[in-house]
């Protein structure tokens, strides 16, 4: 009855046990819900616990061999709507299941990614969701710096084939890290990343790219330009592959398609558009490899007095929430982002399969106002 007056330290399980008149072991069983306690005793202990405001110490629990109730989530950038939606999906699940989520952003830096995984492992996190593109081998895009000063490259110069661009280099470290993580019993699911021997939710990047290209070709466009994200991302490569495949399938020469790389952001899109249009003023359509870049393209084009889609069409990728509200409303490829997060968490929660699971997402062409037949 008498409350400890001075010590503000939270009650421990012993306090609960004492107050309930049972042993530590019994109290523990009652609180964790494990078998071996009579229902009455368990209920009594729990009642006492909640009365005295007992909250188990998760560190002690983890250390004593209990489950770690945290899942890790690594994204490139929380502020980006793509990752925002994914995070929403993941958090929705974790919270309904009583887990806490440790979130990290890497700003698309492979080294930061490794560091984050290690930090998460230090916290003995055994369930981890990594969202965001993997990286292609450094040096493949010789001399092209990510997001700054990226020169214009002919289409043929980028993505010389599917599946050759493994997450190597920093990728080698990453692969080793992942191996050791899973060997130690860790569960990892990635979103939008191949080349890692783990469960994966794979957005339909190549197919989406092809669908988008067919849409533009169908409208009659032949002089197209592409705003690519950082050339070291496999997502960029895959989406480009899809575009190229559909372009080639129409009997056209992909080498005639200029590709400009920039940051996967609004600003990156605007800057890349500037470079693209200066070198190729006669384009009738621009494809951005994600929606923020497309929004940047719209902004630059409109500011430069071009009519969209009257003079030039613009298309994006992802169907971020912003897509339908920009002017003109953006034609894009929809990916089920929040659901992808949910799926990834689901994979992480189930026991590992004998071989990595792959869940391919759907994609859907969403035609809005930003694309139309060329004016010609």
Partner DNA sequence: CTGAAAGCGCTTACAG
Q: What are the tokens at 310?
A: 């009257």
Q: How far apart are the first and last CA of the chain?
A: 87
Residue 371 sits in the site that holds DNA (CB under 7 A):
no
Range in contact with its own copies (rule: CB under 8 A) among 11-19, 29-37, 177-185, 228-236: 177-185
Draw the binding track, 48-77, toward DNA (x: CB under 7 A; -: no contact).
------x-xx--xx-xxxx-----------
**Considering only CA atoms, which of 312, 300, 132 is closest in space to residue 230?**
132
Considering only residues 239-258, where is the footprint of DNA by CB under 7 A?
none
> CA torsion sign, 39 to 45 to 47 to 53?
negative
Residue 187's binding partner out of DNA, its own copies, none, with CB under 5 to 8 Å set by partner kind: none
Residue 8 sits in the site that holds DNA (CB under 7 A):
no
Residue 37's binding partner out of DNA, its own copies, none, with CB under 5 to 8 Å set by partner kind: DNA
Q: Which of 77, 173, 311, 339 binds its own copies (CB under 8 A)?
A: 77
165, with CB counted inside 10 A (0-12, 13-18, 19+), is: buried
61 secondary structure, DSSP code: H
Cα(200)–Cα(238) distance, rounded to whole angstroms?
Answer: 16
Cα(376)–Cα(374) distance, rounded to whole angstroms?
Answer: 6
Range in contact with DNA (rule: CB under 7 A) among 31-39, 125-133, 134-142, 340-348: 31-39
Cα 264 versus chain centre, distance: 13
Which residue number, 66 or 373, has a Cβ lying nearer to its own copies?
Answer: 66
Cα(97)–Cα(157) distance, rounded to whole angstroms?
Answer: 47
Say how many residues touch DNA, by CB under 7 A. 28
Residue 87 sits in the site that holds its own copies (CB under 8 A):
yes
Which residue number, 37 or 87, has a Cβ lying nearer to DNA?
Answer: 37
Considering only residues 159-198, where is the footprint of DNA by CB under 7 A?
none
Considering only residues 100-139, where is the footprint of its own copies by CB under 8 A?
100-105, 112, 116, 118-124
Which residue number, 5 or 251, has a Cβ lying nearer to DNA?
Answer: 5
Q: Which of 37, 74, 170, 224 binds DNA (CB under 7 A)?
A: 37
**Considering only CA atoms, which of 299, 272, 19 is closest in space to residue 30?**
19
Backbone dihedral angles phi then psi of residue 334, each to the nearest 5 degrees: -85, 130
Distances (CA, A) of 43 to 15, 37, 49, 60, 347: 16, 10, 10, 23, 34
Backbone dihedral angles phi then psi of residue 92, each to the nearest 5 degrees: -55, -40
252 secondary structure, DSSP code: -
Residue 87's binding partner out of DNA, its own copies, none, with CB under 5 to 8 Å set by partner kind: its own copies
Q: What are the tokens at 235?
A: 């997502």
H or E element, residue 110:
helix 110-122
Nearest distance from C-beta of residue 122 to DNA, angstroms: 9
Residue 28 sits in the site that holds DNA (CB under 7 A):
yes
Range in contact with its own copies (rule: CB under 8 A) among 13-21, 56-64, 129-137, 205-213: 56-64
Considering only residues 252-271, where is the footprint of its own copies by CB under 8 A?
266
Residues that bind its own copies (CB under 8 A): 8-10, 53, 55-60, 62-63, 68, 70, 73, 77-81, 84-85, 87-88, 91-92, 95, 98, 100-105, 112, 116, 118-124, 180, 183-185, 266, 295, 298-299, 321-322, 324-329, 338
């Amino acid at each position: 009855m008498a409350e400890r007056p001075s010590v503000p330290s939270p009650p421990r399980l012993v306090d609960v046990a004492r107050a309930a008149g049972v042993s530590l072991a019994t109290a523990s069983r009652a609180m964790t819900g494990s078998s071996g306690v009579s229902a009455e005793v368990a209920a009594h202990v729990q009642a006492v616990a909640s009365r005295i405001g007992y909250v188990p110490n998760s560190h002690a629990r983890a250390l004593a061999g209990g489950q770690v109730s945290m899942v890790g989530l690594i994204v490139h950038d929380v502020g980006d709507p793509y990752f925002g939606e994914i995070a929403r999906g993941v958090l929705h699940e974790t919270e309904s299941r009583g887990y806490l989520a440790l979130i990290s952003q890497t700003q698309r830096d492979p080294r930061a990614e490794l560091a984050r995984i290690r930090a998460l492992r230090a916290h003995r996190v055994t369930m981890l969701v990594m969202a965001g593109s993997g990286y292609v081998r450094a040096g493949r895009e010789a001399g092209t710096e990510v997001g700054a000063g990226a020169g214009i490259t002919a289409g043929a110069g980028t993505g010389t084939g599917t599946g050759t661009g493994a997450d190597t280099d920093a990728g080698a470290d990453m692969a080793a890290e992942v191996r050791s993580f899973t060997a130690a019993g860790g569960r990892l699911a990635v979103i939008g990343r191949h080349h890692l021997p783990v469960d994966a939710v794979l957005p339909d990047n190549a197919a989406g790219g092809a669908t988008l290209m067919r849409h533009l070709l169908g409208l009659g466009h032949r002089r197209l330009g592409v705003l690519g994200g950082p050339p070291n991302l496999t997502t960029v490569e895959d989406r480009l592959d899809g575009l190229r495949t559909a372009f080639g399938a129409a009997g056209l020469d992909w080498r005639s398609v200029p590709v400009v790389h920039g940051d996967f952001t609004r600003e990156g899109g605007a800057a890349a558009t500037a470079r693209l249009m200066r070198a190729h003023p006669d384009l009738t359509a621009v494809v951005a490899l994600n929606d923020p870049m497309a929004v940047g393209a719209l902004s630059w084009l409109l500011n430069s007095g071009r009519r969209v889609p009257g003079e030039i069409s613009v298309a994006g990728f992802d169907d971020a929430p912003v897509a339908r509200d920009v002017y003109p409303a953006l034609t894009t490829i929809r990916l089920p982002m929040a659901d992808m997060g949910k799926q990834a968490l689901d994979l992480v929660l189930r026991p590992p399969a004998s071989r990595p699971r792959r869940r391919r997402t759907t994609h859907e062409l969403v035609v809005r106002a930003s694309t139309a037949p060329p004016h010609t």
